[in-house]
Chains A and B, each alone.
Chain A
Amino acid sequence: MRNVSSIVATIKKAYVSRKFKRRNRSIMGDMSLTILLGLFGLFSVWPLIFIINNAFKPLNEIFIFPPRLFVMSPTLTNFQDLFIVIGNSWVPITRYIFNTFFITAVGTLGSVIIGSMAAFPLAKYVFPGSKTMSKLIVYSLMFNGTVTALPNYIIMSKLHMIDTYWALLLPSIGGTLGLFLMMNFMVQVPDALIEAAKIDGAKELTIFWRIMMPLSRSAWITLIILSFQSLWGTTGGGVIFTEKLKPVSYALSQIVNAGIARTGVASAVTLIMLVVPVVVFVISQSNVISTMATTGIKE
């Protein structure tokens, strides 16, 4: 008993000493909020743990009753099977991978360049139409592409873009979320830098390329992430019909759709589709957060 009470005393002491650093906190509040966070964290991560475990389960474990969360004898069979299935596909898998790589690379590069080109004048100058444009961009965040999908399709077919990469690339580059983030980031770049450059005789283009772009590095990393996330998962459904032009996520989803016999392979595929964007996010997390810090709808 004495042991327990001494432990409690130490915790309390530790708390009191911490309290000097952190004002306005109570032990009860801290504990209940930590428990809340833990519970919801578990809810959030549990299905993902499930996916990871499933990918390494041999078939007999996937269909075991009662079902188990954790894998007992981990194996790479599912991944080997995946490679066999992929190896037999009519269009070589390398082609699908190339397609995704191409779409993601061009789309991302396009959004970064075109987005920052437009963001710079809107963030740093006042000129006829600039207010209207900024307002339109905020309003465009208030609905999404789903409500314009039909006319979009008609427009793309009139421009002969259906069944080409343009149908995926151009709407993505023309998206406003990335531009909005970039604009907010550029607003907080000190005006003094621009004034100084102006005195040195620099024109807008020079200021954009020599000052704004190098200073907005974390904003364009964020743009790269957002654009990567949306393009990586695209299956090209509805706009890309030629098999050879389809992205890799389409090929993988076809493998998954082949039914119960592919359950093992499917869980391997799900893991691969999940890991790539997560790894990309982990690498760039600090940049993304520092961009988001400047984001917001100002009054």
Chain B
Amino acid sequence: MLTNQTITRRKNNRSFSKIWKEHGAKYLLIMPFAILFIVFTVIPVMASMVISFTSFNMLEAPSFVGFRNYINLIVNDDIFLIAVKNTLFFALITGPISYLMCFVFSWLINELTPKVRAIMTLVFYAPSISGNAYLIWKLIFSSDMYGYANSWLLRLGFITEPILFFDNKDYVFPILILVQLWLSLGVSFLAFIAGLQNVDKTLYEAGSIDGIKNRWQELWYITLPSMRPQLLFGAVMQITASFSVSQLSIELAGFPSVEYSGHTILTHLHDYGFIRYEMGYASAIATILFFTMLFTNIIVQKALRRVGA
């Protein structure tokens, strides 16, 4: 028994040293990144799950409470349910639409001449890198008649008095969606443009001989399958972004927004984590959001692999 164990241990040792001898340099190259990745991504994800089962206020040691945070969230916290509803609704609208926008625009841009293409790329991409330029929408939808939207609607005779856009729950949500879509042509948009430029041109000629008649067939049978890696990557980027709206809502609609109309899971997390310091509760929110994002992504990845196949 004992000898058997020592033998296996020796074997392991030998294979460890063998692996190190063969691959040591590779591990050394990865090490700095791996340490940062573990400290700032892996440990926080696990810590978040652990803390979500405790009551923790950053001052006293955390105490174990089992599933109480989750039960409170789902059973007692009405505002959380509003946040979940808003977030899912928001993601369900902005996720697919922004993804389609990224694709359709990159596809249309791809047919232009290189110079025009570069300009149009900038036109669509600029909002996503323009920092806090989205605050201009606050001016556009300003509540008084100096707001551009109000002033035009007044002049065109659609309304007789200014609309209080950010004080009316019927307007807050659509405006947030509009601005989020404006901001959403980011990295995935660039990836799509690049992917389209890389599609093998001879495939189109071959397809034409094989009886492809119009641009839609070309798109479905040749273009989409050729750029599947970019499509999968873009989906991940857009889904993640569509679930993580908080800054936008806080800056435009205020916090808390009127009747929680702009409240999302993330603003709820912000509330409990950085204002009330109820870390256990906030971690439960974070964990729920984490799994929501992860599962949505995995499901969509599975679905997208069937495109054009």
Q: Does A288 contact B (CB under 8 A)?
A: yes
Residues of B within 8 A of A (CB): 19, 22-23, 25-27, 29-30, 32-34, 36-37, 39-45, 47-48, 51, 58, 101, 104-105, 108-109, 111, 118, 120-127, 129-137, 139-140, 145-148, 151, 155, 182, 185, 187, 190-191, 193-195, 197-198, 204-205, 208, 212-215, 217-218, 227-233, 236-237, 239-240, 244, 246, 266, 269, 273-274, 279, 282-283, 286-287, 289-290, 293-294, 297-298, 301, 305
In the complex, the answer to whether A288 meets B190 with C-beta atoms within 8 Å is yes
Per the bound structure, the CA–CA distance linking A151 and B62 in Å amounts to 13
Determine chain B's interface SS by DSSP, over half rule.
Answer: helix
In the complex, the answer to whether A296 meets B37 with C-beta atoms within 8 Å is no
In the complex, the answer to whether A118 meets B229 with C-beta atoms within 8 Å is no
Q: Does A122 contact B (CB under 8 A)?
A: yes
Q: Does A37 contact B (CB under 8 A)?
A: yes
Q: Does A251 contact B (CB under 8 A)?
A: no
| A139: B residues at CB distance < 8 A | 294
Q: What 1/0 mask marks residues of chain A from 29 to 45 whose CB sits below 8 Å from any chain B CB?
A: 10001101100110111
Q: A114-B36, A120-B29 are in contact. Are A141 and B232 (CB under 8 A)?
A: no
Q: A229-B129, A273-B132 are in contact. Are A289 and B105 (CB under 8 A)?
A: no
In the complex, the answer to whether A150 meets B294 with C-beta atoms within 8 Å is no
Distance (Å) between the CB of A62 and the closest chain B CB? 9
A-B complex: 9 closest residue pairs judged by Cβ atoms: A296-B229, A174-B36, A292-B194, A118-B33, A148-B44, A121-B26, A293-B194, A151-B47, A297-B232
Of A18-26, A78-86, A91-99, the one touching chain B: A18-26
| A171: B residues at CB distance < 8 A | 36, 40
In the complex, 8 of the A-B residue pairs with CB atoms within 8 angstroms, ordered by the A residue number, are A25-B215, A37-B105, A37-B108, A50-B148, A127-B27, A141-B236, A142-B293, A293-B198
Number of A-B contacts (CB under 8 A): 276
Interface size on A, residues (CB 8 A): 93
Q: What 1/0 mask marks residues of chain A from 201 to 243 whose CB sits below 8 Å from any chain B CB?
A: 0011100100000000000000000100100110000100000
| B48: A residues at CB distance < 8 A | 147-148, 150-151
Per the bound structure, the CA–CA distance linking A177 and B233 in Å amounts to 11
Q: Does A144 contact B (CB under 8 A)?
A: yes
Per the bound structure, the CA–CA distance linking A50 and B135 in Å amounts to 12
In the complex, the answer to whether B30 meets A133 with C-beta atoms within 8 Å is yes
